[in-house]
């Protein structure tokens, strides 16, 4: 039982480290160095870009969902007009 719990703990610890390794760690640099400023600015830039992309995707999906019913109504009217 102890081996299973230990292996489970190690397994979770490994995946926790892998998931957190994607983000840059700016603490390795001195606080007022050029490399620190570059690191922080790249973090801010990446987060801003992903937030903007997510906002645009959400807006497009919302518009598609809201206007899909209206588009079908317009298509029906066009069919009726062209049939006459």
Domain boundaries, the chain: 25-83
- Other Cβ atoms within 10 Å of 39 Cβ, number: 17
Q: Is the pTM of this model over 0.75?
A: no
pLDDT band of 19, cuts 50, 70, 90: very low
Structure tokens belonging to residue 9: 């703990």
- pLDDT at residue 24 tops 50: yes
pLDDT tens for residues 25-79?
788 888 888 888 888 888 888 888 888 888 888 898 888 888 877 888 888 888 8
Contact criterion met (CB below 8 Å) for 40 and 26: yes
């Amino acid at each position: 039982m102890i081996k299973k719990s230990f292996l489970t703990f190690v397994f979770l610890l490994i995946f926790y480290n892998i998931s957190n390794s994607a983000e840059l760690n700016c603490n390795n640099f001195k606080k007022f160095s050029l490399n620190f400023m570059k690191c922080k600015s790249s973090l801010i830039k990446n987060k801003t870009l992903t937030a903007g992309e997510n906002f645009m995707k959400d807006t497009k999906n919302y518009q598609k969902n809201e206007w899909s019913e209206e588009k079908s109504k317009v298509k029906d009217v066009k069919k009726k007009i062209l049939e006459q």
